[in-house]
Amino acid sequence: MSRRRAILVAIVAIAVFVADRITKILVESNMPVGSSIDVAGPWIRISHVTNTGAAFGLLPERTTLLSILSVGAVFAIVFYYRRLARDSRLIAATLGMQLGGAIGNLVDRIGQGYVVDFVDVGLPGGPRFWSFNVADSSIVVGIIAVTVLLWWQERARGGPAAMSGTASLEPASSARPRE
């Protein structure tokens, strides 16, 4: 990965991490655990929730395992995607989103033994979906975006050659002319 792409990854990762930390600190400082505030009626609420499990409450009470998996995910993101991010600012940004989110939740797991979740979405008078936070959102959006971008890249190249890291999602004006 070029120095510019690495800087982009770092900037996005830091921005996600800082946004995640600030929002979690605000929730922890201003709301008791279990309390909720309606943001968009009963559809969207801010709810102070502690989550000892993985995303969506999977594997509760497995903090050590999840911490080890998070560290592994951070290394996998850095080493696997660096080849993919080499040719695309968009893919580099998705890498930064995933990296910042993974580190944000890892800091919570190591420091507190749980992750603070606070976005609570559900149906009025009906089921509530899983609570989540900025880190979770960044990870999920980053995974979906990189999947779409790689699919788009592969489709533009006409096959699986996109996995070789040679295709680009950059605007045509930044591409070198072919000979």
Q: What angle do CA 118, 20, 29 make, to 5 degrees?
A: 60
Asked if residues 56 and 137 have their Cβ atoms less than 8 Å apart, the reply is no
| Both structure tokens of 94 | 């998705």
Active site residue 108: no
Q: How far apart are CA 83 and CA 134, in angstroms?
A: 26
CA-atom Rg of the chain in angstroms? 19
Name the 3-class secondary structure at 115.
strand
Name the 3-class secondary structure at 67.
helix
In the set 20, 87, 108, 117, the catalytic residue is 117
Q: How far apart are CA 21 and CA 134, in angstroms?
A: 9
Active site residue 117: yes
| Both structure tokens of 115 | 């992750």
User: Which residues are known to be catalytic?
Assistant: 117, 136
